Amino acid sequence: MPHLKQITFTLLTLATLSTNTPQTAAQTKPSDWLHQGIIKANEKNYTEALSNFTKAIEINPQYAEAYYQRGLIYTKYAQGKVPSRDGASPGCQIIDKINTVCEVKTAANWRQQKKQQAITDFTQAISIKSQYAAAYHQRGLAQETKQDKLKDFEIANKLYLERSIFNLQNKDYKQAAETLINIDEIYANIKLISATSSTQQEPKNPIGSSTKSPELKKDPEEIMKQAHEALNKGDTQNALRLYKLAAQIFQDKKSPRVKEVQQIINALEGKK
């Protein structure tokens, strides 16, 4: 199974709350610890961020957002992005200024443990907040098996689409665009894990291709990105034109994505 890269959604989530929240000596509300944890995460101080999210959970064991944010930190540990306190990589020990000893098995087990902790936290967030799209998304990235990944991605995709349609209907185009980008990222991951070993290629000049306009030969995924950018800027007319073009290409390719793109188009046109 191909290795999946962490998508940008994590960074966007960590940046959504203000980094100007003052730190107090005696924080008693779980939201205080959550905000401080996000500040520390943005500063890449993951050890303190982890501690802050844990304190928020200790005060309120039903705090879904704290479990989610802590899961994101565990994911970073699992990816080996967080060095130990002495500056060594996970599973390694600095002997002196020149020598570092690394046990491959120890490092692998350590990362696996952190991945399981991330999955546990995302699962807990979902059990508290059943419509938590981002938690399904991130758990899908951390899952071990193709089946589990696809199941979580499918649920996350459905929830993201529902939210984006709601935002479009309320003319919150910026938020809708951000949510739709998450859907594109999910499809990119699905494409990776669903890739087959077939070497068969489409003919260079398929029947009827010469009659298609140049626009209909474009990559629909790239067109979707352009549409999201236009939507984010509030240029709904251009966004609508691009979504319609993408829908037509998806239709030609017999892609199931055509149905969801049509929902986006209907929402932009004010249809139900």
The DSSP letter of residue 79 is: T
pLDDT tens-digit readout, 123-149: 999 999 999 999 999 999 999 999 999
The pLDDT-based confidence of 210 (bands split at 50, 70, 90) is: low
pLDDT tens-digit readout, 48-85: 999 999 999 999 999 999 999 999 999 999 988 765 55
Determine contact, residues 265/239, Cβ cutoff 8 Å.
no
Helices (H), the chain: 9-14, 30-42, 46-59, 64-78, 104-128, 133-142, 146-169, 173-193, 220-232, 236-252, 257-268
Give the three-state DSSP class for 240: helix
Determine contact, residues 46/77, Cβ cutoff 8 Å.
yes
Q: How many angstroms separate the CA atoms of 98 and 38, rounded? A: 35
Q: Which of the pair, 44 or 100, is modelled with greater confidence?
A: 44
pLDDT tens-digit readout, 152-170: 999 999 999 999 999 999 9
Predicted structure pTM score: 0.78
Q: Taking the CB of residue 29, how many other CB atoms lie within 10 A of it? A: 12
